[in-house]
């Protein structure tokens, strides 16, 4: 992109008619879930619609690959870098390299933990604490008068990732005032369906009386349903299931009574990302945090939403 004056980081945009297209380097986490596939599609379609050249890289859930991709974007001299960090920590050195090169960085979907918030311009994505809180509050309300202990198993997302950390934390906090609600096991299924199934198989083998499953995404919940059915139990009845995302298959399972409650996490953030990128490259100020709008689903809401669901 042609900019008057100095680097892309601080320059003033020239007349749009003279400008070559913005180039965005985008490092995606992977393709671990239906949510992620929809998120990738949203980013790619929005870039094409906005006339932004997208250099896309899939890290296959590996932080080193993401760091390598970001370094290659810096070497190419892209106008802006966006990435969805697989884990929260370990980004400062590479983000300092981007800053030295004058390339602004946007975090999408997941946050990082850093003492230097000047390493990125904005973070666009869900409030994972709010999601965990919604899941826990629903369960607490449902068992408010429980007289017996309610055994909860949790299948966490990728270890060290922002959604796994925050969904776990806020859920535990939301149920903490109800002494009958007890998390008896919590293991990572890495946000994949195979992971969810394997973890649930282990839980079922080790724990005789599971009342509730809290899965950090639909894919792991759907994998766990396979394990529950294979063990001769009825998902949604013998074991209540709460998951996060709201992908089509998740909503269908909710309609079929196999999942009881879904907290939405919205992957369709491509358009907002491109709008932010255009402003940042033009030297405009943007909010440092942009939170995605989300809802929750019980059966009736899932029935209403499914026909128009795009992912």
Binding site for ligand AHR (CB under 6 A): 32-33, 35-36, 109-110, 163, 191, 217, 244-245, 265
Q: Could you tell me which of 277, 150, 253 has the C-alpha nearest to residue 211?
A: 150
Provide, rounded to whole angstroms, the least separation between the CB of residue 161 and ligand AHR: 7
Rank residues 168 and 217 by Cβ distance to ligand AHR and give the closer one.
Answer: 217
Q: Rounded distance, CA 29 to CA 112, Å?
A: 13
46-63 burial, b at 16+ Cβ within 10 Å, e below that, comes to: bbeebebebbebbbebeb
- Minimum distance between the CB of residue 220 and ligand AHR, rounded to whole angstroms? 8
Shortest CB 35 distance to ligand AHR, Å: 3
The residue (of 170 and 265) whose beta carbon lies closer to ligand AHR is 265
CB of 265 to ligand AHR, least distance (A): 5
Question: Which residues, 6 or more positions from 66, have their beta carbon under 8 angstroms from its beta carbon?
Answer: 27, 29, 57, 59, 83, 85, 86
Query: How many angstroms separate the CA atoms of 210 and 153, rounded?
Result: 7
Q: Residue 79 or 245: which CB sits closer to ligand AHR?
A: 245
Say how far apart CA 286 and CA 200 lie, in whole Å. Answer: 43
Local structure of 211: helix, strand or coil? coil
Measuring CA to CA, how many Å separate 171 from each of 137, 141, 142, 203, 257?
Answer: 8, 13, 14, 19, 22
Task: Find the shortest distance in angstroms from Cβ 254 to ligand AHR.
Answer: 16
In the complex with ligand AHR, which residue's Cβ is closer, 181 or 220?
220
Cα 57 from Cα 214, distance rounded (Å): 31
* CB of 23 or CB of 42, closer to ligand AHR: 42
| Phi, psi torsion values for 277, nearest 5 degrees | -60, -45
Shorter beta-carbon distance to ligand AHR: residue 8 or 247: 247
CB closer to ligand AHR out of 191 and 297: 191
The CB-of-145 to ligand AHR minimum distance in angstroms stands at 31
Considering the complex, what minimum distance in angstroms separates the CB of residue 132 from ligand AHR? 11
What gap in Å lies between CA 103 and CA 96, rounded to an integer? 10
């Amino acid at each position: 992109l042609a900019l008057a004056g100095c680097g892309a980081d601080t320059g003033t945009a020239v007349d749009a008619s003279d400008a070559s297209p913005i180039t965005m380097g985008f490092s995606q986490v992977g393709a671990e879930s239906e949510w992620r596939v929809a998120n990738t599609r949203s980013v790619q379609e929005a870039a094409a619609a906005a006339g932004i050249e997208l250099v896309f890289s899939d890290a296959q859930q590996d932080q080193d690959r993401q760091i390598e991709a970001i370094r290659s974007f810096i070497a190419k001299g892209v106008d802006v870098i966006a990435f969805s960090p697989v884990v929260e920590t370990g980004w400062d050195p590479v983000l300092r390299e981007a800053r030295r090169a004058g390339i602004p960085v946007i975090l999408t979907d997941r946050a990082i933990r850093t003492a230097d918030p000047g390493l990125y311009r904005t973070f666009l994505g869900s409030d994972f604490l709010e999601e965990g809180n919604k899941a826990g509050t629903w369960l607490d309300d449902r068992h408010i008068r429980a007289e017996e202990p309610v055994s909860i198993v949790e299948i966490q997302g990728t270890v060290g990732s922002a959604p796994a950390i925050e969904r776990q934390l806020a859920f535990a906090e939301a149920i903490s005032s109800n002494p009958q609600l007890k998390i008896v096991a919590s293991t990572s299924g890495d946000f994949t369906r195979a992971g969810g199934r394997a973890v649930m198989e282990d839980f079922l083998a080790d724990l005789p009386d599971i009342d509730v499953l809290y899965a950090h995404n639909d894919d792991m919940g759907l994998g766990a349903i396979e394990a529950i059915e294979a063990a001769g139990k009825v998902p949604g009845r013998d074991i209540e299931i709460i998951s996060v995302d709201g992908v089509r298959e998740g909503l269908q399972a909710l309609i079929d009574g196999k999942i009881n409650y879904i907290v939405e996490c919205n992957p369709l953030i491509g358009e907002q990302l491109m709008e932010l990128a255009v402003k940042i490259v033009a030297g405009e100020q943007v909010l440092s945090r942009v939170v995605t709008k989300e809802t929750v689903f019980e059966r009736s809401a899932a029935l209403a939403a499914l026909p128009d669901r795009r992912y």
